[in-house]
Amino acid sequence: MSDVTLAQRALRSLDLTDLTDNCTDQAIDTLCARATDPRGPVAAVCVWPQFVVRAREALRGSPVRIATVVNFPSGGEDVERVTDDVREALSDGANEIDLVLPYEALRRGDIAVATEMVEAVRDVVDQGRLLKVILETGVLSDPALIEAASRLAIDAGADFIKTSTGKTPLSATPEAAEIMLGAIKASGRSVGLKPSGGIRSVADAKIYLDLADRIMGPDWATPKTFRIGASSVFDALIAAIEGRAGSAAVGAY
């Protein structure tokens, strides 16, 4: 696969993200303009809940979906608060909910707490809208825990499992993604993968697309089953599509 073809494939599976602490309305307008680039568009934008309405207005008439985050980034255990946040986000116009799994509960062996959270949010996120469950694999770290978190999220109704919030020292890794893809394949369910955080170059994107192709088959990774959560990789993908140098561009998540 040529760099151009690879970059086009990655761009269309991109969740173009701004979860910076100092995000503004103007930054969301810029994000949404980039999301609808004619060489794309990207699959979705991922923004803080308070910017969902702004993104909805900016993206009106486009196919780009709006994702937002809940229980983010701490992965707390207050189910009622989180489900209230989800209802508000959906009412504002979110199409996709990226929920942080209560990963500390899982680490201490309290599977019921983590399961209850995912199931409760699943009940609120109705058909046509996606639930992505963020496992925070950099904190779980142990392959057995990553596999357990993957299985838990899938069994509780996740549409996607996502590696990371991008707010911890270690975000997406190929090792974690491989475990997650193995759990998806073993489940027999139509569940997608979203590597997120630290993906800054065409080469980075290629690692995860190659993993998906090898484990799930060459036709599996489409925007319906595969997303890349990133902000800085956008410029690198556009540079590769245009045949310019700079496909290893870097930036902050």
What was the pLDDT predicted at 249?
A: 40
- List, for residues 106-129, the tens digit of each pLDDT value: 999 999 999 999 999 999 999 789
Marked catalytic residue, from 15, 85, 132, 194: 194
pLDDT at residue 222 in the model: 98
pLDDT digits (tens, 9 = 90+) for 85-95: 999 999 999 99
- Which domains does the chain possess? 3-241 (3.20.20.70)
* pLDDT over 70 (residue 84): yes
Q: Which residues of 164-195 are buried (b: 16+ CB within 10 A; e: fewer)?
A: bbbbeeebbbeebbbbbbebbeeeeeebbbbb
How many percent of the chain have pLDDT more than 90? 94
Pick from 148, 193, 198, 150: nearest CA to 170: 198
Residue 98 bears catalytic tag: yes
Residues 105, 84 contacting (CB under 8 angstroms):
no
CA distance 55 to 35: 11
pTM of the model: 0.95
The active-site residue out of 18, 85, 98, 159 is 98
Please indicate whether residue 194 is annotated as part of the active site. yes
Of residues 15, 159, 162, 204, which has the active-site annotation? 162
162 an active-site residue?
A: yes
Q: How far apart are CA 88 and CA 105, in angstroms?
A: 25
Phi, psi for residue 69 in degrees, rounded to 5: -110, 145
Residue 12 has pLDDT above 80, yes or no: yes
